[in-house]
Amino acid sequence: MPDESLHLSVVNSLLERHAGSAGALLPLLHDIQERIGYIPDVAVPEIAHALNQSQAEIRGVISFYHDFRTAPPARHILRLCRAESCQSRGAEQLAAQLRERLQLDDHGSSADGHISLRPVYCLGACACSPALELDGRVHARLSAERLDALLDACREDA
């Protein structure tokens, strides 16, 4: 597979850059995801070997941190705050609206691959609840109508 060999080339060059660095795993994973867009499965054995760790340890770290992806990202990343402040101000109703509109559970990508939904537990906009982050930009005091408008804008951008 051409992508696989390209991915391995990127991973190996980053492994060389991080060689000998204490605590290299997290910076390495961030660099891989920044360059490739996600952490491909073929990278795990290479990382494990280079850092003298098991593949299970590497996969455990990847799965523990919610910002690491193991598949190509959707075009738009939507992170809905599910913390107490947002919950008390209507986040659950917005989550239900998203599940219905995107036809997915609280964590996944729409069938067309354009929008990925991820729960997050605090965006730091508690005074302006409920809030969500769309492609790195926080939208606060969100209403059902504003959420629909944001989703429509994502669909138009497809």
Structural domain count, the chain: 2
Residue 12 lies in a domain: yes
* β partners of residue 73: none
Domain boundary at 41, 64, 87, which? 64
Q: What pLDDT score was predicted for residue 158?
A: 61
Based on the fold, state whether residues 54 and 90 are members of the same structural domain: no
Q: What pLDDT score was predicted for residue 16?
A: 93
Residue 71 lies in a domain: no
SS3 letters across the chain: CHHHHHHHHHHHHHHHHHCCCCCCHHHHHHHHHHHHCCCCCCHHHHHHHHHCCCHHHHHHHHHHCCCCCCCCCCCEEEEEECCHHHHHCCHHHHHHHHHHHHCCCCCEECCCCCEEEEEECCCCCHHHCCCEEECCEEECCCCHHHHHHHHHHHHHCC
**Contact in structure between 71 and 107 (CB atoms under 8 Å):** no
Residue 146 lies in a domain: yes
Based on the fold, state whether residues 145 and 90 are members of the same structural domain: yes
Q: What pLDDT score was predicted for residue 118?
A: 86
The dihedral sign for the CA sequence 32, 38, 42, 48:
positive
Residue 82 lies in a domain: yes
pTM score, whole prediction: 0.70
> Whose CA is closest to 130, among 97, 107, 101, 108?
97
Residue 16 lies in a domain: yes
Q: What pLDDT score was predicted for residue 4?
A: 85
The dihedral sign for the CA sequence 5, 158, 67, 17:
positive
| Tens of each residue's pLDDT in the chain, 158 residues | 458 888 999 999 999 999 888 899 999 999 999 999 999 999 999 999 999 999 999 999 999 987 898 988 889 999 999 999 999 999 999 999 999 998 888 778 888 888 988 888 999 999 999 999 999 999 999 999 999 999 999 888 76
Q: Domain limits at 42?
A: 2-64
Residue 25 lies in a domain: yes
